[in-house]
Structure 1
Amino acid sequence: MSKHATRSFLRSFKIKAMKVGFIGLGVLGKTIAKRLLSQGVELVVWNRTKEKALDLGVEIAPSPADLAKEVDTVFLMLFDSQASEGVIFGKGGLTEGGLKDKTIIDMTTNHHAYVQNAYRELKKMGCSYLDAPVLGSVIPAQKGELTILVAGDEEKFKEHKHLFEKYCKTIYYVGEAGSATKLKLINNLVLGGFMEILAEAIAIGEKAGFSKDLIIEVLNSGAGKSYILDVKKQKILEEDFSTHFSVELIYKDLHYLQDLVKDVEGFTFALQNVKEAYGLAKTVGLKELDFSAIYKIFKALSPMSFL
């Protein structure tokens, strides 16, 4: 190799080694991307709506395929498994850019069957796939205090742990691909269920003549004391339902969980009712609001009276 060719190779390697790809700049994805940037990680990004990436001040790839050519590691934070599949395997997707010896870290809350299939298909291409959903939302992401569940090849988990440490306080390696997604969906039954029951209790308390402040204070001193009430009480008090984690997302996650319950031959009394409460919220136009907006359903004299 000539001296010029050697310098070009080393320069290309250095650029690739310094950069990490990031795809999916929704509310949480963008917050994580900003956190990584603040921790000294250089990003090249792609987002379906390019305008959402402009204020990051980073390189924006023309397509996922183009992004894949520049980096060895790609983070995904997308709405659902259909979006993940499109970005990875679809036209102009990551696979078209070449994924041999690269790693995809998929933080999307996926369907468990999709994750297992994606892992197998990418492994055939020589690509590693880490199933890596996070627990938590915007505020802990800003502080680097998310929890992450990671499944897939343990060697690749260890190789990328230094990146997880930049935005996560608690990190779990949980085994084979699909395991992290299953745990995330189980977690979100509690998340969605707790938010729904708190909303019911607060609304009923108000109808019984108590102030919202007093109800929340009593719940926070008693059976309602929880992380969820701590982080959502101001939203309910002020009825500011700007989105940290949307109604539409929790509904999608609970729908995926129904398939998991069926596959493991389990049963649940709560899941259907909790899911359909968020389904009602979607139907009446609340789908893009924070999932704490479920409170509006129970506060209303009838489900349609606040429209």
Structure 2
Amino acid sequence: MGTTTDPTNTDESAIDTYEVLIVGGGVAGLSAATFTARASLDTAVITAGESILKRNAHVENYPGFPAGVNPRLLIDMQRSQATRNGADMVHGRVTRLKHVGTADGDLDVSDDARFLATIAGDADTDADAAGNDAAGDAGSGATAATDRTIAAERVIAASWADASYLDPVDPDRREAGSKTYLEDDGDGRTTVEGLYAAGRLAERYHQAVVAAGDGARTAITLIHDAEIPFYHDWVAPEGYFTDRGREVPPGCEEVSETERRARERESIAAMQEYFATPHEDRQRTHPSLVDDDLGRVPGTDR
């Protein structure tokens, strides 16, 4: 597990190593983080900039919200879910991803680490920036502070739209006009071993629910590649497996009726808190339309 999430750390010998590093704190990245963390893989999400989802006024096609949901609230809820399940959020912007090489021998890096990510911290960002996309949205308003390095065994690239930080590892890409996408096998594996892609960077349909599902699929692909015991991420009622003479499979859990009711009450309380008042963040729009680094609409309260 990483020992710190402070991107202003200047001790070059203090290299955190994670089993999974996710670049991008939007819908796809946070969905992936929830799955890898729940599979007991040490997971860090690099978040900075501004998630494109937050430019939406209201999300009305995401399952589970009959009347729609504030997109900024949706990101907050996803981030909380990822951290609740054990993922670390690191505030900063990935500027370079490279393979661990012999020149890095003086760094205290795990033998299992394949990649080194250089992360620029943000000296001056909006208060909610810790929940935003991480590696290339030009509307972030972030000012680079000091660099920090994180090592990782596997990386999921779920950022948009600048993927130049991947140049040193050189995955296959496809250019489509002004856009660049990573080539993958359909399950998130890129042409670079240990590097995965999810969401819009993998040229998936530009819808929040598709991004969430793709983040989950890529994470499950990674989990299987990591060769850790995993069947399904299920919470089943007591006896679901064992009353049929089966052991509870890896990744699954059986809970008693008492525990089920306790978890339900906790989830109800959490949802009531999330939806008690309108979200306080100001509305965003496309950054080209306003003179504001974060794309905030003048005169709006949220």
Larger radius of gyration: 1
The structure where strand makes up a greater share of residues is: 2
TM-score with structure 2 setting the length = 0.29
TM-score with structure 1 setting the length = 0.29
The structure where helix makes up a greater share of residues is: 1
